[in-house]
Amino acid sequence: MEEVTNNVGKAITEPRHGLRKSDMDHAVISRSKREARGDVVPQLIAHIVFATNNHDEMLDWYMKVLNARIALQNPGTTFIAFDDEHHRIGIARVPRLANKNPNANGVNHIAFTYANLGALLGTYKRLAVEGIYPRWPMNHGITVSLYYQDPDGNRLELQAERFGNVADTHNYFEHNADFRANPFGAPFDPEKMLADYEDGVPDDDMLRFEPYAEGEGPMTIITSMGLGKEDVEI
């Protein structure tokens, strides 16, 4: 049996068992032992499946919004993809279902991150040509976010990170006093931000919070998104 030693322990090769890892005391870390230590986590969120009585309209909407392709389709379900994952969205055709109730328990929204602000604003511009507009454009401070609502009433957030690295993003999220006081930030005009971006306006100027309309505030947005104390109109 061949052993390879490094500064964290040994990697042990055994017939029929592949590569196994050992502690500094040379005790082999089995799968169950590693899991017991809590160091095994999912790699990513792989896909989302919607069950709907409105398959065709939902499929058309998600194909346009995510600039996706059909990966697999059968009479019951269509799977679509937009990157190297085999599918990211599944849309299951279930005619018996009742329409979504926004005042019941469930997922409030799903978010997708774009590479940068230019990619997000370019997507906004592309979708506007299709007549698809965000219902809640929000400058959260940590992200610029466009919240859309699909034909079934599910909310989809398209976002771009404000900061260029993970450390700054985590620091802002966990320690920035203004963000802790108001993580919702403020609405913004995407047409104005798009124009400013195309004109080369500096980020610090472009991403300043815009004031709320008179009589409105973060709770206005929270309530309209179904996260407040009042029911949302169906």
pTM of the model: 0.82
CATH of the domain spanning 110-227? 3.30.720.110
Instruction: Taking the CA atoms of 14, 17, 19 and 20 in sequence, report the sign of the dihedral they define.
Output: negative
Q: Return d(Cα 154, Cα 100) in angstroms, integer.
A: 8
Residue 38: predicted pLDDT:
72
What are the residue boundaries of the structural domains of the chain, listed by start? 45-95, 110-227
Which tokens hold the place of 224? 């309209």
Beta strand pairing call for 9-14 and 143-149:
unpaired
b (16+ CB within 10 A) / e for 20-31: eebeeeeeebee
Residue 3: predicted pLDDT:
42
CATH topology of domain 45-95: 2,3-Dihydroxybiphenyl 1,2-Dioxygenase; domain 1 (3.10.180)
Q: Is the pLDDT of residue 26 over 80?
A: no
Residue 30: predicted pLDDT:
55
**Is residue 214 classed as helix, strand or coil in its secondary structure?**
coil
Over range 91-113, report the average pLDDT.
96
**Which pLDDT band holds residue 36 (cuts at 50, 70, 90)?**
low
Residue 20: predicted pLDDT:
42
User: Which residue, among 202, 100, 109, has the nearest Cα to 152 in the 3D structure?
Assistant: 100
Write the pLDDT tens digit of every residue in 173-196.
999 998 898 898 999 999 999 999
**Which pLDDT band holds residue 17 (cuts at 50, 70, 90)?**
very low
Give the up-direction half-sphere exposure of residue 75: CA atoms within 13 A in the CB hemisphere.
Answer: 1
**Which pLDDT band holds residue 33 (cuts at 50, 70, 90)?**
low
Over range 20-44, report the average pLDDT.
63
